[in-house]
C-alpha cells in the first residue's frame, strides 16, 4: 500500500428497491449490461465484484466482453432472487460508499494514481468492515467512471421488517 495515503469515505444512506423490475435495472447498471451501455467504457474491465463463497471473500474482475458480464450478473441474480423470496420479512437494500484517496504530504487527491492492487486492498477492507454490520449479499466496485470518485455498491438484506 502507498505510504502517506489517506482514504476518505462518504457513505450514502441505503435505499430500497420498489419492485423486481427496479432491481433488474439496477443490476444492469451495476454489471454494465444495460441496453444503451451508457456507463461502459475501456475502464469497465477494472470493475470488481466481491462476494462471499463459503465464508471466504472472493473478487472477480469484470470482463470487456458484454456476454461475460451478463453471465456474471445472471450468476449473482440466481443467488439473489431466492434469498429475496425466502426472506419476505426483510427488505433488500443497496447503498454506496465513495472513496477519495489523498496524499498526506501534498494534500492532493490521487484517485487516478492508485494501483489496481492498492485499490483492491482498500475495497476489500471496506467490504470486510461493512459485512460485519449488515447481511451483505454482494458488492460491486465501479472503477470506470473517470469523472467521478471510485465507489462501491453493496446489496444487502436489512436485519428485519419490510419485504416486497
Residue 15 lies in a domain: yes
Residue 162 lies in a domain: no
Average pLDDT over residues 4-17: 88
Q: What whole-number percentage of the chain has pLDDT above 70?
A: 93
pLDDT greater at residue 30 or residue 158: 30
DSSP 8-state class, residue 101: E
In this prediction, residue 85 carries a pLDDT of 82
Please name the residue ranges forming H helices in the chain: 20-31, 66-86, 116-131
Residue 78 lies in a domain: yes
Distance CA(61)–CA(82), nearest Å, equals 25
The answer to whether the CB of 76 falls within 8 A of the CB of 153 is: no
The answer to whether the CB of 88 falls within 8 A of the CB of 164 is: yes
Residue 163 lies in a domain: no
Average pLDDT over residues 100-105: 89
Average pLDDT over residues 111-133: 81
Average pLDDT over residues 78-102: 86
Q: Is the per-residue pLDDT at 161 higher than 80? A: no
Q: What is the pTM of this model?
A: 0.86
Residue 164 lies in a domain: no
Residue 102 lies in a domain: yes
Distance CA(137)–CA(155), nearest Å, equals 6
- CA-nearest of 154, 32, 22, 10 to 95 is 154
Average pLDDT over residues 96-115: 87
Residue 141 lies in a domain: yes
Q: Which domain holds residue 92?
A: 5-157
Q: What is the mean pLDDT of the chain?
A: 86
In this prediction, residue 48 carries a pLDDT of 94
Residue 40's Cα: distance from chain center in Å? 15
| Structure confidence at residue 132 as a pLDDT band (50, 70, 90) | low
The answer to whether the CB of 23 falls within 8 A of the CB of 100 is: no
Asked which of 78-82, 99-103, 119-123, 146-150 is least confident by mean pLDDT, the reply is: 146-150
The three-class DSSP label of residue 10 is: strand
Count of the separate structural domains present in the chain: 1
In this prediction, residue 52 carries a pLDDT of 86
Amino acid at each position: 500500500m502507498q505510504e502517506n495515503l489517506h482514504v476518505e469515505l462518504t457513505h450514502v444512506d441505503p435505499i430500497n428497491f420498489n419492485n423486481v423490475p427496479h432491481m433488474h435495472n439496477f443490476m444492469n447498471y451495476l454489471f454494465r449490461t444495460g441496453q444503451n451501455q451508457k456507463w461502459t467504457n475501456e475502464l469497465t474491465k477494472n470493475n470488481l465484484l466481491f462476494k462471499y463463497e463459503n465464508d471466504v471473500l472472493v473478487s472477480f474482475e469484470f470482463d470487456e466482453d458484454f456476454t461475460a458480464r451478463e453471465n456474471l450478473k445472471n450468476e449473482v441474480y440466481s443467488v439473489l432472487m431466492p434469498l429475496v423470496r425466502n426472506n419476505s420479512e426483510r427488505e433488500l437494500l443497496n447503498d454506496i460508499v465513495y472513496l477519495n484517496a489523498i496524499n498526506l504530504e501534498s494534500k492532493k487527491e490521487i484517485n487516478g494514481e492508485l494501483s489496481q492492487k492498492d485499490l483492491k486492498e482498500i475495497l476489500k477492507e471496506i467490504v470486510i468492515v461493512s459485512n460485519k454490520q449488515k447481511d451483505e449479499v454482494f458488492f460491486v466496485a465501479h472503477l470506470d467512471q473517470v469523472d467521478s470518485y471510485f465507489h462501491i455498491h453493496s446489496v444487502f438484506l436489512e436485519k428485519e421488517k419490510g419485504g416486497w
